[in-house]
Structure 1
Amino acid sequence: MPDPQSLDECVSIQQWLQREHLPLASPRPPAAVHVSLYCVGKSARIPEGVIAAARQAGTAIEACQFELVFDHIITFLLPQDNAIVLAGNGGRELWQLHVQIAIEMHRLGADANLNPNFQPHTTLLYDKDVVPRIALRRPVVLAAREFVLLHNRRGQADYEELGRWPLHARG
């Protein structure tokens, strides 16, 4: 989840995109802006056993804090509305966190949804149109100090928080 300053930057970019490129786009509410890390499941009702495994996996993760740099806007093509996302290089630490979660989920008997094409991003808008890659003048730097298990309740703008775990300070 972005800190307040990073969230303000994300919302400013979102508003600029809507004003300059996608006037009819549906913006993500600020409370729903987050960096996608790992998909536990895509069904409308995630089984309790999978949620329990994800919570156990979160508790088992040992990772250090790091920073993410998002320096461009891209479009993820989706069946309904496309996702207009803030993207960048998540770096080795984010990839390692993604892999650690997959390993823990597998160890706990759940699907290990390791995504070899994992693209660090935060969704800003949804729209039928496609935005070509736009480089940002100034990158958005997000401090990863924790990770959160969120449940995306279909048809609702917000997420239900199911767990939260701190990342360790470097030192």
Structure 2
Amino acid sequence: MSRIEPSAPQVAARSETHRLFFALMPDAVTRHEINHVAAWVQQQHPELRARWVRPERFHATLNFLGDFPVLTDEAVAKASAAAHGVRAAPFAWALDYVDSFRGREPPCVLRGSQVPEPLLALRRNMHATLVETGLRLRNERQFTPHVTLAYARHALPQATPVPRLVWQVDRFVLVHNVVGKGDYQVLGTWGLSG
């Protein structure tokens, strides 16, 4: 079952960048648990001097569809058509450590020691259906599922265990964001039913 919101306006300022991606979004309880982990990391590692992600923006990206100067109905329609073709079962994803990725502002991320096979299968299935719709996808060398907690001035010295939380994943969403402005807009939601 899906819910599609009205499309974004066809006219946008030239300086805007419209980002479109599929993601896993946590439910309220999981979002609260992730925020608790973020607060713990912030307390334990003030040297990160980080910009902390607001809880309503916690997500795990599945497939990045691109940045656009204007988000068109065609792009949203193709992504939605692909989403309707995705078949995957719900699964549990255990998140149990934080680490830093490399970068100018090293992201501090929450990850799991083991990546569930159904998560990898969901991404593969989604990628295949997206290719069939004719969407051009960025080639990603490696898929590293994670939830970004912060963008920091310094990286964590090492991966750090955190109290294990289990995210019961039962849906994925199509997200639109104008980079640097406002909250995420969920354009559609699709349940996982096997």
TM-score range (shorter-chain normalised) is 0.7 to 0.9
Match of 1:83 among 103, 107, 112: 107
Instruction: Report the Cα distance in structure 2 between the residues aligned to 1:122 and 1:144, rounded to whole angstroms.
Output: 13
Task: Map 1:53-68 to 2 at 5 A.
Answer: 53-68=78-93
How many residue pairs align between the two structures? 168
1:4 is aligned, of 24, 28, 38, to 28
Which runs of at least 4 in structure 1 moved beyond 6 Å after TM superposition?
none
1:58/1:101 contact within 8 Å kept = yes
Look up the match of 1:17. 41
Q: Give the SS at the match of 2:185.
A: strand
**How far 1:114 moved relative to its partner?**
5.8
Note the alpha carbon deviations across 1:104-156, whole angstroms, 9 max, x for none.
11101112446451011001111121113333242121111100111232113
CA-CA distance at 1:4 after TM superposition: 2.2
Q: Where do residues 1-171 of structure 1 align in structure 2 (5 Å cutoff)?
A: 1-22=25-46, 24-43=49-68, 45-79=70-104, 81-88=105-112, 89-113=114-138, 115-168=140-193
With structure 1 as the length reference, what TM-score do the two structures score?
0.88
C-alpha displacement at 1:61, in angstroms? Answer: 0.8
Seq. identity, %: 27
TM-score, normalising length from structure 2? 0.78
Unaligned runs of 5+ in 1: none
Decide which structure has the larger Cα Rg and report it. 2
- Unaligned 5+ runs, structure 2: 1-24
Distance 1:116 1:143, change over 3 A: farther
The residue type equivalent to 2:136 in the other structure is: D
SS in 1 for 2:87: coil
Say what the alpha-carbon RMSD is for the aligned residues.
Answer: 2.0
